[in-house]
C-alpha cells in the first residue's frame, strides 16, 4: 500500500467567511489527498473543539511541528494516524490541536489512499461489493442558530424523494418542493422577504408548530 511522503496545510476561508484549515496528504510522492475542515454554526455539548484557543493558526503550527510523525504510515492506516493525532493532542476533546485538524488529516489521508488504490473512497471503506446511490436530502425550512431570532427553534426541516427512479428526479423533486414552499409561506405571511438560513432553507418568522404546518 501507498505510504505517506508529505503532509502540508494552509489557512483558508469557509463558506461563512471564517478561517479553517485545509490539509494535503501525498502518498508515494504522487497521490494527493486534499481536505478542508467544515465548521457548524451550532455545536454539541460533547463535540470536539474545532480549533485551539489561538485558532487555525495554532493548529497549522502544531501540524508543521509534528508532520514527520506521519511519514511512512500507509495512507489507509487510520488506526496509526488516529493514534498519532491523539498522542500529539493528549486531551479528550482535541482542544490542543483542534478537531478540524484531526478531521482534515484523516480524510485527506483516505483520499490519498483512494487515489493510490485506484478505487473511489466509498469503495475503499465499504465492506460490500454492491452499491446503491444515496437518496439526496433537501433543506426546505430552518431556524435556530442557522437563521436567527424569530425563526423556528427547529434548525432544519428536511425532505427526500425515496420513490424517485433516478438521482436527477430526486434532486428535481427536492427543488420543486423548496420552490413551492416559498409560495406557501408568502400566502400566509405577505411580509416574508425570502429570507434563508445558512444552508438555503426558507427562514420565516414563525413558531415550530406553524413551521411544520407550512411544510405539511
pTM for this one?
0.83
Q: Which pLDDT tens digits describe the chain residue by residue (216 residues)?
A: 899 999 999 999 988 889 999 999 999 999 999 999 987 766 777 888 999 999 999 999 999 999 999 999 999 999 999 999 999 999 999 999 999 999 999 999 999 999 999 999 999 988 888 888 889 999 999 998 878 888 999 999 999 999 999 999 999 999 999 999 999 999 999 999 999 988 899 999 999 999 999 998
Q: What is the pLDDT of residues 153-178, one digit of tens each?
A: 999 999 999 999 999 999 999 999 99
Domains of the chain (ranges, CATH numbers) = 4-125 (3.30.390.10), 137-215 (no CATH)
Residues 6+ apart with CB under 8 A from 20: 11, 12, 13, 14, 36, 37, 38, 39, 56, 100
Amino acid at each position: 500500500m501507498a505510504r505517506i511522503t508529505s503532509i502540508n496545510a494552509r489557512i483558508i476561508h469557509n463558506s461563512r467567511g471564517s478561517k479553517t484549515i485545509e490539509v494535503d496528504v501525498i502518498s508515494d510522492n504522487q497521490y494527493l489527498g486534499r481536505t478542508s475542515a467544515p465548521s457548524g454554526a451550532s455545536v454539541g455539548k460533547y463535540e470536539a473543539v474545532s480549533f485551539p484557543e489561538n485558532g487555525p493558526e495554532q493548529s497549522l503550527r502544531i501540524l508543521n511541528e509534528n508532520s514527520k510523525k506521519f511519514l511512512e504510515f500507509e495512507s489507509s492506516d487510520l488506526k496509526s494516524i488516529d493514534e498519532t493525532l491523539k498522542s500529539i493532542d493528549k486531551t479528550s476533546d482535541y482542544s490542543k490541536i483542534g478537531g478540524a485538524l484531526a478531521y482534515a488529516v484523516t480524510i485527506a489521508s483516505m483520499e490519498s489512499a483512494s487515489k493510490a488504490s485506484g478505487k473511489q473512497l466509498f469503495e475503499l471503506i465499504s465492506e460490500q461489493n454492491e452499491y446503491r446511490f444515496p437518496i439526496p436530502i433537501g433543506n426546505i425550512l430552518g431556524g435556530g442558530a442557522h437563521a436567527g431570532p424569530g425563526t423556528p427553534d427547529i434548525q432544519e426541516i428536511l425532505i427526500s424523494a425515496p420513490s424517485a427512479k433516478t438521482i436527477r428526479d430526486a434532486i428535481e423533486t427536492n427543488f420543486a418542493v423548496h420552490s413551492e414552499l416559498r409560495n406557501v409561506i408568502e400566502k400566509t405571511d405577505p411580509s416574508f422577504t425570502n429570507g434563508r438560513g445558512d444552508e438555503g432553507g426558507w427562514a420565516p418568522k414563525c413558531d415550530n408548530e406553524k413551521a411544520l404546518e407550512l411544510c405539511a
